[in-house]
Amino acid sequence: MAGSAVVVTGLGAVTPLGGDVASTWAALLAGESGIRDEADGLLSGAELPVTIAGSMAVDPADRMPAVRARRLDRSQQAALVAAAEAWADAGSPAADPDRLAVAIGTGIGGVKTLLQQDDVLERDGVRRVSPRTVPMLMPNGAAALVSIEYGARAGVYTPVSACSSGAEAIALGARLIRSGEADVVIAGGTEAAIAPLTIAGFVQAAALSRHKGDPASASRPFAADRTGFVLGEGSAVVVLESAEHAAARGAQVHAVLAGAGIASDAFHITAPAPDGIGQITAIRKALGQAALGPGDVSHVNAHATGTPVGDVAEAGAIAEVFGDGIPVTAPKAALGHLVGAAGAVEALIAILSVEHDTIPPTRNLADTVIDPDIKLDVVTARRDTPQRAVLSNSFGFGGQNVSLIFSKRG
């Protein structure tokens, strides 16, 4: 139905903190870390100055038959695992296939397959390259596989918007429902790009954390001594429905997707605009669509990756809209940066915050000086306090900015 409110009825995830939603949420609230040294794991055999990463807490290949796992890129495996949990959590709705759509974003796609098959080509020749290479590496593969799994025929969408991809997919899903094109949308993001080449590329771009010592302390958003982000992997998927469709089947509702804002910087391929105009515009668009004022938002789930420039830019944008008193949390301190999946995972966290009236803590700040240029109420210990509405920011290379607002039902 055109103009319908959009509700969230299903949640699914596989992240560095846990193999499902419950374990991820519990670990985040407990202040645990999903970041570890991968020198003998996903980054083995390479001479790299950085070997810490946020690898998935469980191998998604273990959640499906081995023969199927071999035919999928790791990012596709993760998306299917998260989608299965979300669909089950939504009650496996009997949706009309022609009114069911899928939107799964990714920043990079099947890069691990690409690198592995390139090695096969160089080592063993063309006859040993897998005939499944292209379906495994194409960015729309995860979304297409989810659509096949659940019979979705109302469209398959794959936002490829760097670090905002997952959030953009959720915003797109809401737009499809509000426009009357779909009743139900399976939406989210996936990424599995922890590989020597991607690490090397981010190292050369001076984007990764150079923290020495305990890997769990390496991701330090808002800290005065932060030096960059920690690369992570995983997937999160939500089931979105029109309020009417959900009510007709008596579905549970975790939260309402009240507003979404998308804006671009048109400034630089990696750096945020100094005046924060794209971020500010995305936030204000989300507030406008939600018909909320700045004072109606209970806290902000910040994009906050831990880069020196990015954290200050976002803090300035948040302060411009909300002032400096709004509580802010940064889950990447525990999860690392999941690139195309980050916005979806953090949307899920924002939804759970609304549902459980809790602000998760930001790790690695309890005994650390917060950057004096960041004049926000950064939450360093769990706060149990009513959450009417939560804003989740996702900002990506290329100046791509997405803000989502989730609120209480009714």
Residue 372 and residue 224 in contact, taking contact as beta carbons nearer than 8 Å? yes
Secondary structure letter of residue 273 according to DSSP: P
Residue 384 pairs with which residues in a beta bridge? 358
Tell me the angle at which helices 342-356 and 165-178 cross, rounded to the nearest 10 degrees: 60
Residue 169's nearest CA partner among 155, 187, 181 is 187
Catalytic residue (choose from 163, 211, 245, 299):
163
Catalytic residue (choose from 211, 254, 299, 337):
337
Residue 141's nearest CA partner among 198, 225, 49, 79 is 79
Catalytic, 268? Answer no
Catalytic, 245? Answer no
- Report CA dihedral (255, 94, 146, 399) to the nearest 10 degrees: -30
Residue 396 pairs with which residues in a beta bridge? 400
Instruction: Report residue 382 as tokens.
Output: 């769990």
CA distances from 140 to 79, 266, 283 (A): 11, 25, 28
Catalytic residue (choose from 245, 254, 303, 356):
303
Could you tell me which residues come within 8 angstroms of residue 36 by beta carbon, excluding any fewer than 6 positions away?
Answer: 52, 53, 54, 55, 215, 216
Tell me the angle at which helices 342-356 and 21-29 cross, rounded to the nearest 10 degrees: 70
Residue 37's nearest CA partner among 14, 24, 18, 54 is 54
* 152-171 CB burial, b ≥16 within 10 A, e <16: bebbbbbbbbbbbbbbbbbb
Quote the CA–CA distance of 133 and 201 in Å, as a whole number: 23
Task: Give the CA count within 13 Å in the CB-facing half-sphere of 21.
Answer: 24
Catalytic, 163? Answer yes
User: Would you please indicate which residues are annotated as catalytic (active-site) residues?
Assistant: 163, 303, 337
